[in-house]
A and B are shown apart, each in its own frame.
Chain A
């Protein structure tokens, strides 16, 4: 089978899984919906591997294959095929997405056990993965947009999966609205490119773009900025990031899926995919690099003070995506995508660990309440620590190689980029600090009552309540199920976390500078024409960067140890002394408040005005009401004639006929 044939298979499996789970949700017994969904994604992963091997058989110059299933639409000057593009970049993304998603599906089988919406959950999950794979394999902007919008819709469905929780539905709406802002940006960007090049498929645009635009041409920069709006909305970069922390309202495996595999990486992929445009518009690429850096600092500082375990990890995702955006914006495509892959491993793992811990806390997510789970949850402890070490960039763990490679490339660009790289290193220290803040606060220190109970073999059970507001809940459909599951007791969770821990541990070795350049070599054909292809830092510079990164990471971990383990009172002292700073960070730099005041409230006021004045008074009362009044007045006159008296009708008929006869007689005589 050809590579594109495998490419179609990659798309067919999850959509088939979705249909089976969705249509059979009443009939599928027990966990079968979960296993069907997992198998579908495993099929996708297998097809991705098939795609990889087939692509490796092609000579390097011919590793960009396009195949069209049918013509989507065809009008004057616009031909859009439903076509997929199989090249090293899309194959790489498919492998990461389907591989990590498969493990998350397996984890979900145990985690979502007993939930009233079990089959619905897996139908959504398969749809989510399908959308992301469609986005990745799209060969033109139209199919890309279809996948792009599907991903937004699927995230809405999954974030508000527990639809009886008002906080969850509100978070879903927030995510959807911000994603639609991004969709609009992407549509405008695609239109500007189509307007200038007359093509919608990548190949056509990239072939034309050098003729149509000069460097930093105004239209091209505008198009790139619009594409960035789309990318930033999906990837939760400033200033379109506010949906991501709220998205924690969804089930924990969904957070894992959104953060590791299927959603936030789409922006990074998009910039890497459209890199010929950004290289011709360095201004847009620079803006993107600066915003990526700003986001990574912002998110790291917020993660330091956040108390909700899942939100800490969510902010760390924003921060790590910031690194990836910085990477692909400074033309370090290989490094950025390398970090995307390692991040997918350790972030999925961290969320799975967090899910297990939260289950042990009977749904409570607050770091302030946790502590001492080391003895009672050894497996979760080990895997979570591996994830945290990878996130912190501890030497030889996967995040160590990928993050420092991005920063080494940024330094190599020189000029103002040195500032970005230095900021990146500082934020890396913060990353190590907050990663181990989580580890120390969750697993060390004296065990809390739940942990002590668990040491005796009793899993904590609490009355179901909303972790965000504390409102009481029941356990029916639309709320979390009655049972909590920890990794120590369910093999599917272990089976998902084990491989991820292994990958977080060794995933970095696929691209050790100078030793194994496997990944960069594989991705080379996609980025071959990049004007920065030859401009790479020397191995010496990269190893120096790795050294600095190692020191920063160890320093951050040591600081966390100092603050949270050896001098426990220090934490409260610091909080007392820097109350303003703490509040500023704890309120997430007041982004939500600012958006509420500048966008949400005025829009709500405008909406209320529209409903009360425009809709009620003008439309309903004047236009609609006026028409109705006129018709009603006319019809009541007509009704008065319909007396129901037969003799009345006969009289009217006679009078009418006589009148008519007289009229004709008079006119004839005249």
Chain B
């Protein structure tokens, strides 16, 4: 099978994720979409790895998964903390970073 199918699928998943990150306001959904983006790129990594017959890409994909797991842990922790302090669970309301 041609590698381009995989790439098209990977780009599609990435774009779905990116669109979700940009359009949704609930931080939980934003995190989910972030996972989609990461996994889209993981798919491209594995596809290229198979194409070149080199295991490096797959190792890389594994590392990305680990990082993604860490990131979700931290992200969920932050969301719980926000919820506990009775702050709005909405990324647009949390704009204290404004310069």
- Chain A residues proximal to chain B, CB less than 8 Å: 638-639, 641-647, 650-651, 654
Contacts and interface: CB of A to CB of B under 8 A. Distances in A.
Given A651-B22, A654-B18, A654-B22, A646 B91 contact: yes
A641 B18 CA distance: 20
B94 interface: yes
Interface in B71-99: 91-92, 94-99
A644 B21 contact: no
A192 to B, nearest CB: 62
B21 to A, nearest CB: 5
B18 A647 contact: no
A646 B97 CA distance: 9
Nearest to B34: A650
7 contacts: A639-B99, A646-B92, A646-B95, A646-B97, A647-B21, A654-B18, A654-B22
Contact of B98 (A638, A644, A647, A651): A644
A643 B95 contact: yes
Contact of A642 (B21, B25, B94, B97): B97
Interface in B24-42: 25, 30
A260 B94 CA distance: 79
Contacts of B30: 646
Contact of A645 (B18, B21, B23, B92): B92
* Majority-rule SS of A interface residues: helix
A113 to B, nearest CB: 66
Interface residues of B, number: 14
A119 B21 CA distance: 76
A650 B96 contact: no
Nearest to B91: A646
By Cβ-Cβ distance, the 5 closest A-B pairs, closest first, are: A642-B99, A644-B98, A644-B95, A639-B99, A646-B91
Contacts of A642: 97-99
B21 A650 contact: yes
B94 A638 contact: no
A662 to B, nearest CB: 14
A411 B92 CA distance: 103
A650 B95 CA distance: 13
A650 B22 contact: yes
B95 A647 contact: no
Contacts of B21: 647, 650
B94 A646 contact: yes
Given A639-B99, A644-B95, A645-B92, 17 more contacts: A638-B99, A642-B97, A642-B99, A643-B95, A643-B98, A644-B98, A645-B91, A646-B30, A646-B91, A646-B94, A646-B95, A647-B21, A647-B23, A647-B25, A647-B91, A650-B21, A654-B18
Contacts of B99: 638-639, 641-642, 644
A660 to B, nearest CB: 15
Contacts of A643: 95, 98
Nearest to B99: A642
B2 to A, nearest CB: 20
A645 B95 contact: yes
Contacts of B96: 644
A647 B97 contact: no
A633 to B, nearest CB: 15
A215 B97 CA distance: 82
A359 B29 CA distance: 92
Nearest to B96: A644
Nearest to A643: B98
Contacts of B22: 647, 650-651, 654
| Residue with the greatest number of chain A CB neighbours at <10 A, chosen from B92, B95, B96, B99 | B99
A300 to B, nearest CB: 77
A519 to B, nearest CB: 83
A644 B91 contact: no
B87 to A, nearest CB: 14
Contacts of B23: 647
Contacts of A645: 91-92, 95
Nearest to A646: B91
Contact of B92 (A639, A647, A654): A647
Nearest to A636: B99
A646 B88 CA distance: 14
A639 B98 CA distance: 8
A52 to B, nearest CB: 78
Contacts of A651: 22
Nearest to A658: B18
Nearest to B98: A644
A551 B18 CA distance: 116
Nearest to B24: A647
B17 to A, nearest CB: 11
Contacts of B95: 643-646
Nearest to B23: A647
A651 B92 CA distance: 13
Contacts of A646: 30, 91-92, 94-95, 97
Contacts of A644: 95-99
Contacts of B25: 647
A650 B96 CA distance: 16
A651 B19 CA distance: 9
Interface string B1-23: 00000000000000000100111
Nearest to B92: A645
A645 B97 CA distance: 8
A55 B99 CA distance: 79
